[in-house]
Structure 1
C-alpha cells in the first residue's frame, strides 16, 4: 500500500530541524520519501497549504480515567485523593474500557499517536488501544499488595499482562510503579529485575508533591530521587513522571543512570502541589525530558498542544527568563525527545525515511496558524495551536482520522458508552 501526502509544509523534526514544502510517500506503513515525490500511489491525501508534524507522544497519562473527568476539580489535594480513590475502587472492566476508548478518541482528535500509560487492568485498556489504531505503551500499576485494590499480587499481574500482550502490534507492555509512597524496596527491585530481563519500559511517579518528599525522608531517610538511586533502581529504561520537587543532586542521579523525565505542568498547576520541574538543570545535565498530560482527573484534557504551551510558559514565568524553553525545544520534547524517552527513537518522533508513518496534518487555513511563514511556523504550532486544528492523523501509515472524521472508531458509540459508564460509576 502506497499513500502520498501532497504539497504540505513538513516540520520534519530531523536532526537539522528542516521545514520543507513538499510531499511524503508512505509504503507499507513506513516513510519512503520526503520532499518532491513523482511516483504513483494507491491513495493521495491533498494537504495543500496544510502543516504536517510527527505524531505527538504523550509520556504520562492514565487514559481510562477519561470517564472520571470533572469529579474532583477545585479541591485541596487530600480531598482530591479521597474522591478519586473512592471512585477508583469501584471501577469495573466495562467503565475502564469505555474510559480508555474515550481517551484514545480524544488523543486521535488532538494529534497524539503514541502514549505511555500507568494504570491497572491494562489488558482491558489494550483492547481499546487496538481498536483505536494508535500506539499504547501500557504500564501495569505495580505497588505493595497491602495498598492495592487489585486481585492478587500487582507484580504478578503485570507479568501476566506482559506475557499475554507482548506480541501485539499496537500494544507495548511496560511496568508502571505507583511511587515511593506505596512501593517498598523489594517491590521496586523486583519490578526492575523483570523489566530489564524482558527489555520493558518502567514508568513511575517521582516527587510529584512536597508531602511525597517529606514522607519519603521520614520513611527512608532520604528524598525520593536519592532513595531510588541508593537502592540501585534507576536505569535507562525508566521514565519518571512529574519530577517537580528535585534537587540538583537528584537530577544528577537521573543523568548518571539514564533515567528520563515526563513533565506534567498542567496537572501540577491544577492541583496546586507546588514545585516547578528544574528543566533547565535537567538539560544542563543531559537528562532527556518529555511531556505528559497526566490523567483526566488532574488535567481534564489530553491535548498535547495545550500541554506544550503551558510547559514553556511555566518555565519562563518561574525563571523570569523568556528564553527558557523556546518553541523549537518544546516541540522536541513532544516528538523526538519523547521518542527517545520511550526508547523508540529509531521508529517514531520525526518525519524521516525509514521511520514509521506517524503523521499529523494541521489545518493550514486556520486563523490561529496564520500567517504561514517558515520562520514562525514552529512558534505557531507551540504557542497558537490546539487539538482542534488537527485534520488528519496516521499511525503506522494507517489513516485513523481523515478530514476530521475518525475512521477507526464509531465516535457516537464510544461517547455514548462513556456517558453510560460515567453515570454508573459516579452516580
Structure 2
C-alpha cells in the first residue's frame, strides 16, 4: 500500500498499528477515535405524521412529501420546520434524493426539466440544474468527476489512468449482477464528506484491482493498494471506514489513510463489522446448518458477550450496528408466527431491551412501545439526531441520541 498524503482530518484519528493476517484468522481491531451515535433507548417514542407520498431521513430530521409540498419535520415531535411548494408543480414521489451526507435534498419537480437542490436544514433553495440526473461522483470521458453538492458545480476531475486504472475505452464494464457482487468490473468512485474512494481494474479484463482514496475537497490522492482476485464487496461504513474484499479476503481500513483496522475471511460464515470503540460485532447468519449467534469481540481478541439468534420460540435478524456506539438493533420474529418485535442489545453487556412490538414476547417481555407488527424489510436509518424506524402498517418511531 502507498500513502500519498496525510490530511488534517486523518490526524484526528487515534494512532494504530498496521496489522497483518495469517490464514483466515481475523486480526484484532485497532481502536478508532469516534464514539458513534449514542442512542437513548428508553426514550424511544412513536412519531405521528400526516398521510404522505414519500418519507426519508436527513441529517437534521425527516422530510415528507405531503399534499404536493416538501416538508422538513422535527423527528422528536413531528412539527413542521419548513415547507417548499410551487404553484405550478409538485415534487415527484420518486424524485427526492438526499446528498452531501443527507444535508441537502435534490428534488425533481413534475413536468419541469432538471432538478433543484434545497438545504435539508432550512428548505432554502441552494442551486438547480437542467440535467435530469446528478450525482456527487460520476465517470465521464475516462475520468472520475467529483461534483460539489453545495453548488452543483464540478469540483475536480482526475484521469483513471493517473490512478493506475485501465483505460476504460479498452476495458468496457461488464454487467453487474446485484445477486453476485463479485462480478463488479466497472470503475466506480464513492463520495463521502472528507474522502472519495474508488476501485478499478489495473488492466483490461484483469483480476487485479486498484483500490484507493482521494481528498474530497481537492482530488489529491491519499493512498492506494493493489488487490488481486474477484472483487465481491466494496462499501463505506460510518466513521470514514471502507470495507472491501476480493477472493474471500476481507479488509476494513481507515478510508483517510488506508491503515488496516480489521482483516478477516469472507468464507468463515461470520460477518464481522468494526464498531466505533474498536471492538467487532460478529454474527454467523449465512448458513442454516449452524447455530446462529451474535457476539461482540473486544479489541484484544476476547469475547465480551454472546447471545443466540434462534431458540424454540424466536428468530433474530441483526440490523447494521455501524455508527451506533452503544446499541445493536435487531428484529425478532416468532419462529412459527408473523408477529415481530424490535430489540436493542446493550453493546457493553449484551442485555436486550424489547423496544417495540404488538405485545409481550414469548418470554413475557413487554415492549416500551406497543406498535403494529414491524416490517422486517424496513431496517432502521441512523442519523446524527437518532434513528427512524418504519413499521408494517405505517407506524413510525424514533430513538433519539443521548
Note whether the superposition's TM-score is higher than 0.5: no
Greater helix share, 1 or 2?
1
| TM-score normalised over the length of structure 1 | 0.29
Structure index of larger Rg: 2
Which of the pair is proportionally richer in strand?
Answer: 2
TM value normalised by structure 2: 0.30
Higher relative contact order (CA 8 A, sep 6+): 1
